Amino acid sequence: MRIAFGKGDKQWTNHSPSKLTEQLKPEIAKFGRMLEFAKRFEAVCIFIPIVRLLKMWGFSDEFRNSMVFPLVALFFGTGNQTPLVSSAIISHVFLNPDLKIFDYSPERLLSDVPETFTFPVLQHVFCAMADQGGYHISCNRPVKRVTRPGKGVEVEDEQGVKEHFDDIVFACSAEIILKVLQNPTWLEKTLLSQVQYYLDYCITHEDTDYMRRMYVGPGQEERIDQDNYFVRQYPEAPEKIEMSFNLSTYQEHMKKGGIENPPPLYQTYYLDASNRHLWTDREVDESKIISKRWMRQFAHTYRHFARWVPFGRFIQGGGPGHCTFFAGSYTLFNTQEIAMMSGLAAAERLGADYPFPHDKLASSQFDMFLGVVHGVTRRNKGNEKAAKDSAAEQEAAVARAKEPKGQKEGSLLKAPILPAEKTAAPSIDLAPPADKQAEIAKKPTSTAAA
């Protein structure tokens, strides 16, 4: 994972020395002491935004705007609300051995280039899951209304067709839940309305000239082809940022398919529409734009940890009939890992076994999430036989993933790379063991995922 922040004399990376990191070395060292402080006094710092703590410790505007805020925005997808992110959460990113993404360096802030993995073609994985899952998936069928008559859930689509389920998992934004859920409880309405969203804009394009103009200085043009992430400040508002991704560097499966140098493909994100006067989206060559889309983006500021996180557990598995669950990154904080765990947690509450008990790091993070967000402990925790069986199933996948250091391909569901002309999903065995199938058959239930 190669990241480039800033431009020109404000430019720094996680893989090369720079003038900025040399200039700010004393503040980088002091930042480490501040992180230790935030970790030690987490109960208080969880409610202190990072911008306030940085000012209390006397950090310069340049250190805050050029180093800390762009880094945190990239970690958490908090966009231009980054100054309001909880100080305690940021300390965990650097210091918590179970959660940290980078190792803190007292000289360069970031000490290394993390090894990364790319997944197989996800279309193949999802198609295989749909074919073998034993459940029905409806696409292009928007939900209009969800009612809970007292026993189970009734879901009505935009065509007026109604379906009845025993339980429902809302895997969508809090805004959408409040729009479709009829007669939410007072607590559901109060809590879900506390989740804050912002309007962002994304352009997928092939404009290499735009990327060079915006993100690199003279003599650095080759970095556009080498780095994965790019973050820059707006000169007229240095506390505000724009970020881009070189998607070509993620396409490891294309190399496996014989395409050594995939054509350039970028995504640029313009954050928070209230700052649209700063955006440079009109400077992207229209002829090189592939797609444009608006999106609602959740940002977990320090207020989220005061108004939602301590109380969200009280609506999980609640509502009339105790049949309603909520999943998504907003249930804790905005990372893809949290979003995935939230779905696994809902499945666990509905009776499914956690699939990775052998993985100590994954299971400890999941147990933490389950305790904070649902207020319960994992069923079958400590089941040595299940952990051993699950570990054996994944040993082969891990062995296959061991390739030369750098970006590589590997995952639990390792699908073969198909030639471009073949679109059928590969066969991936996702069926539960025979004894589990018999157990499931004895418990006929239905669950809707909205």
User: What tens digit of pLDDT does each residue of 162-194 get?
Assistant: 999 999 999 999 999 999 999 999 999 999 999
Indicate the pLDDT class of residue 387, thresholds 50, 70 and 90. low
In percent, the amount of the chain with pLDDT more than 90 equals: 36
216 or 449: which leads in pLDDT: 216
Residues in the chain: 450
Q: How far apart are CA 313 and CA 372, in angstroms?
A: 7
Look at residue 445 in the predicted model and tell me its pLDDT: 54
147 beta partners: 154
The one-letter amino acid at 392 = A
148 or 2: which leads in pLDDT: 148
Q: How far apart are CA 267 and CA 120, in angstroms?
A: 20
Among 202-206, 281-285, 431-435, which stretch is predicted with the lowest mean pLDDT? 431-435
Mean pLDDT score, 352-359:
90
- From the list 288, 309, 280, the residue with the least C-alpha distance to 375 is 309
In percent, the amount of the chain with pLDDT more than 70 equals: 77
Indicate the pLDDT class of residue 1, thresholds 50, 70 and 90. confident
Among 11-20, 247-256, 415-424, which stretch is predicted with the lowest mean pLDDT? 415-424
How far, in whole angstroms, is CA 189 from its chain's centroid? 25
pLDDT above 80 (res 441): no
Catalogue all structural domains in the chain, each as residue range(s) with its CATH number. Answer: 8-110 (no CATH), 122-195+303-449 (3.50.50), 197-298 (no CATH)
Q: String of b and e for 65-78 (b: at least 16 CB within 10 Å)?
A: bbbbbbbbbbbbbb
- Highest mean pLDDT (candidates 3-17, 112-126, 316-330): 316-330
pLDDT above 80 (res 38): yes
244 or 219: which leads in pLDDT: 244
pLDDT above 70 (res 448): no
- What is the pTM (predicted TM-score) of this model? 0.77
Indicate the pLDDT class of residue 434, thresholds 50, 70 and 90. very low
pLDDT above 70 (res 416): no
pLDDT above 70 (res 259): no
CB atoms closer than 10 angstroms to residue 328:
22
Average pLDDT in the chain: 80
